[in-house]
A and B are shown apart, each in its own frame.
Chain A
Amino acid sequence: MRISYERSGGFMGRKLNFSVDLEELPNDQAETLNRLLQQADFFNLPKDLISRPVPDEFNYIITVETATQSHRVRVSDSSMTDPLRPLLDDLFQRARTGKG
């Protein structure tokens, strides 16, 4: 399974992109990400959670690809849902430090 994180917008307008293969992660980290995806009910989320543009907030596109399915969700700071937030937080920490 591959997870991609793309952050755009923000006051600075700087992109932050990151992707990770779960197969290449230590078991405990892969399990954590799997659990966060399930908690978010990721594959059943609408494609676009952003209902209106909010000046300067971050926009995120999360793409998850498995052997059998692929799903992409667009979300922002103000449209983030509680079940989805822990997944975004985890991915952000990986993205900002460049650690997979």
Chain B
Amino acid sequence: MFTQRMVYCILPPYLLREIAQRGSPAQRASAQRAIIAAEQVRSQRRTIQANSAPMEAVSAAGKQRYVYDAKQSSVLPGILVRKEGAPAVSDPAVNEAYDGSGTTYDLYYAIYGRNSLDNNGLKLDSSVHYQKGYDNAFWDGQQMVYGDGDEDLPAPERLFNRFTIAIDVIGHELTHGVTQFAANLDYSGQPGALNESISDVFGSLVKQYQLKQTAGQADWLIGQGLFTSNVKGVALRSMKAPGTAYDDPVLGKDPQPGNMKDYVNTVEDNGGVHINSGIPNHAFYVTSINIGGYAWDKAGLIWYKTLTEKLGNQSNFQNAADLTYAAAGELFGTNSLEQNAVKAGWAEVGIIIGGQTQEGCFKATLRKLGLSGLLKG
């Protein structure tokens, strides 16, 4: 097993330079050492395996977690029940929110050099036990909010467990915070589905990072463990096989497409943001499998760089494809294995790098019928 001190990644030069410029004194010193080491090794055309010393220096700095109990009400944040450094309490939801936000912080900090959601040490507030029978979790722009599922129904009728039970859900919610401070993607239509997908991507990476799983070993499910045994399904979504996570008499069938040809046009759910996210989700999965190893190392880094440096609030799937391809080129070289993996990942979901933004089937049909005016206003 790995311990916290070990290094799972090869920090790319650009990221080391970032840390060297913007990090804490300890981070800057270790980044400088790593840059020198990287340059020495690069000249021999070998990959570096950083030693454990730099990582030790950057561990646990700036992590500020606060967990509140909303006591089944809608009043946020509720009563403070655990803060940074305090021991575990008897309530599992509190500890899950605390530990999950900690692992999420660690992934962003250790691998991408990001100090919390705003890259400036923002405190991480979580409220558990929100409302009664609340089968959901959300990021309200300032904090994470988790419901207890169907805790108030008789056991045979329950469909959902508490939402802190799945660490990828916690990583998903926190990543909405990262996105808000980075690309700030509109929460509607394709930019919204991209926003959702980025939360699934890094939510899944948080889980893989915690379990130390390679891309090949990971389950690529979102929300595994959230369904009770009354539900016919394994999770809420599958990045590996969108549309296959559940098929249940009460909940219906997982509606996610995994290809542009199946893109769902709808006005509900802000334009199907939780449905069409299956398309970029699957592109990330294929990219990760094609690269191999730990998905957070390279595929995750490409997506992170794209999210924080390239995407804008109106970016659509085609933009994401083109910009991840560009980021992969900058990080790993033109025509590198990694860049080709990105290209193949998007091709698998029907998006060609450098292609035209496709108008949806719905829009195309309206245009052919001379009814494009309906889309305006």
Chain A residues within CB distance 8 Å of chain B = 8-15, 52-59, 77-78, 80, 85, 92-93, 96-97
B176 near A92 (CB under 8 angstroms)? no
Interface pair A54/B138, CB less than 8 Å apart = yes
Given A12-B274, A13-B274, A85-B74: A55 in contact with B269 (beta carbons within 8 A): no
Q: Who on chain B is nearest to A98 by CB?
A: B250
Task: Give the contacting residue for A77; candidates B74, B150, B236; CB below 8 A.
Answer: B74
User: Binding site of B, secondary structure by majority: helix, strand, loop or mixed?
Assistant: mixed
Docked complex Cα distance between A15 and B196 (Å): 17
**Residue from A10, A52, A93 within 8 A of B136 (CB atoms):** A10
Known A-B contacts A53-B187, A56-B173; A14 and B251 likewise in contact (beta carbons under 8 Å): yes
Kindly provide the distance from the CB of A76 to the nearest chain B CB, expressed in whole angstroms: 9
Asked if B268 and A53 sit within 8 Å, CB to CB, the answer is no
Contact B133 A92, beta carbon cutoff 8 Å: yes
User: CB within 8 A of A9: which of B169, B199, B251, B270?
Assistant: B270
Q: Are B169 and A53 in touch, CB under 8 angstroms?
A: no
Q: Within residues 227 to 263 of chain B, which ones have a CB less than 8 A from any CB in chain A?
A: 236, 251-252, 255
Known contacts A13-B275, A15-B268, A96-B133; A55/B188 CB under 8 A: no
**A9-B274, A11-B274, A77-B74 known; A57 and B269 CB under 8 Å?**
no
Pairs A-B, 4 closest by C-beta atoms: A13-B274, A56-B138, A53-B187, A57-B138
In the complex, what distance in Å separates the CA atom of A43 from the CA atom of B163? 35
Q: Residue of B at shortest CB range from A58? A: B136
Q: What sequence of 0s and 1s flags, for each residue 122-147 of chain B, a beta carbon within 8 Å of any chain A beta carbon? A: 00000000000101111111000100
Judge whether B77 is part of the interface by a CB distance below 8 angstroms.
no
- A contact residues around B97 at 8 Å (CB): none
With A56-B176, A85-B74 as contacts: A12 and B140 at CB distance below 8 Å? no
Pairwise interchain contact B141-A8, C-beta atoms closer than 8 A: no
Q: Mark B55-86, 1 if CB is under 8 A from A, else 0.
A: 00000000000000000001000000000000
How far is it, in angstroms, between the C-alpha of A15 and the C-alpha of B275 when the chains are bound? 12
Q: A54-B141, A55-B176, A85-B74 are in contact. Are A11 and B273 (CB under 8 A)?
A: no
**Could you tell me which B residues sit within 8 Å of A by CB distance?**
74, 133, 135-141, 145, 150, 153, 157, 163, 169, 172-173, 176, 187-188, 192, 195-196, 199, 223, 236, 251-252, 255, 268-270, 272-275
Max chain B Cβ within 10 angstroms of own Cβ: one of A54, A85, A92, A97: A54
Nearest-Cβ distance from residue A91 to partner chain B, whole angstroms: 13
Asked whether, in the complex, the Cβ of B173 is within 8 Å of the Cβ of A53, the reply is no
A12-B223, A59-B270 known; 5 new pairs, CB 8 Å cut-off, are A9-B270, A14-B251, A55-B138, A55-B176, A56-B173
State A11–B251 Cα separation when bound (angstroms): 14
A-B contact pairs, 17 of them (CB 8 A): A9-B274, A11-B138, A11-B169, A12-B236, A13-B275, A14-B252, A52-B141, A53-B270, A55-B196, A55-B199, A56-B136, A56-B173, A77-B145, A78-B138, A78-B140, A92-B133, A97-B157
- Quote the shortest CB–CB distance from B334 to chain A (angstroms): 35
Structural contact, A55 and B133, CB atoms closer than 8 A: no
The residue on B at minimum CB distance from A82 is B74
Q: Establish whether residues B136 and A13, one from each chain, have CB atoms under 8 Å apart when the complex forms.
A: no
- A56 and B268 form a contact (CB under 8 A): no
Q: Determine if A80 and B74 form an interchain contact, defined as CB atoms under 8 angstroms apart.
A: yes
- Knowing A11-B274, A13-B272, the reply to whether A54 touches B140 (Cβ < 8 A) is yes
Q: B269's contact among A13, A52, A85, A97, by CB below 8 Å, is which?
A: A13
Question: B116 CB to closest chain A CB, in angstroms?
Answer: 18
Give the CA-CA distance A85 to B190 in the complex, in Å: 31
The listed residue with most B CB atoms (<10 A of its CB), out of A11, A56, A59, A93, is: A11
Instruction: Determine if B140 and A11 form an interchain contact, defined as CB atoms under 8 angstroms apart.
Output: no
Min CB distance A79 to B, Å, is: 10
Tell me which residues across on chain A come within 8 A of B157, comparing CB atoms.
97
- B143 CB to closest chain A CB (Å) equals 11
A9 and B275 CA atoms in complex are apart in Å by 10
**Given the complex of chains A and B, what is the CA–CA distance between A74 and B251 in angstroms?**
23
Which B residue's beta carbon lies closest to that of A56?
A: B138
Indicate if the CB atoms of B163 and A11 lie closer than 8 Å.
Answer: yes
Closest approach, in angstroms, between the C-beta of B252 and any C-beta of chain A? 7
| Residue numbers in A under 8 Å from B272 (CB-CB) | 13
- Shortest Cβ distance from residue A90 to the other chain B in the assembled complex, whole angstroms: 12
